[in-house]
């Protein structure tokens, strides 16, 4: 029975060592996940509040394009 107790004690020590080695890895992954989450939220807020300059450009381009053809129709 004494040998069995020693083996069980060794297994318990091994489990505690494994648990300790996982802890820093868990912290690193948690920090990376938190940073990625904050970056994603910041990007979403930026995209939501930033003005869409392309829409203004397309409107100006369409106006100029229409004016060009109106001038040709008037000259004919």
Domain enclosing residue 55, as ranges: 22-75
Give the total number of structural domains in the chain: 1
pLDDT score of 10? 85
Q: Could you list the mean pLDDT of each consecutive 10-residue stretch along the chain, which spans 76 residues?
A: 81 76 83 98 93 66 58 54
Q: What secondary structure does DSSP assign to the chain, as a single string?
A: -HHHHHHHHHHHHHHHHHHHHHHHHHHHHHHHHHHHHHHHHHHHHHHHHS--HHHHHHHHHHHHHHHHHHHHHHH-
Distance (Å, whole) CA 22 – CA 15: 11
In a domain, 17, yes or no: no
pLDDT score of 42? 97
In a domain, 11, yes or no: no
pTM of the model: 0.47
In a domain, 37, yes or no: yes
In a domain, 8, yes or no: no
In a domain, 55, yes or no: yes
Instruction: Give the Cβ contact number of residue 19 at 10 Å.
Output: 9
Tokens at 51, concatenated: 């003005």
In a domain, 15, yes or no: no
pLDDT score of 3? 80
pLDDT score of 76? 54
């Amino acid at each position: 029975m004494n040998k069995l107790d020693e083996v069980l004690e060794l297994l318990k020590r091994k489990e505690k060592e494994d648990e300790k080695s996982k802890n820093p890895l868990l912290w690193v992954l948690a920090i990376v996940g938190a940073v990625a989450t904050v970056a994603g939220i910041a990007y979403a807020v930026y995209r939501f509040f930033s003005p869409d300059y392309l829409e203004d450009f397309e409107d100006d381009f369409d106006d100029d394009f229409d004016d060009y053809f109106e001038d040709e129709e008037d000259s004919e």
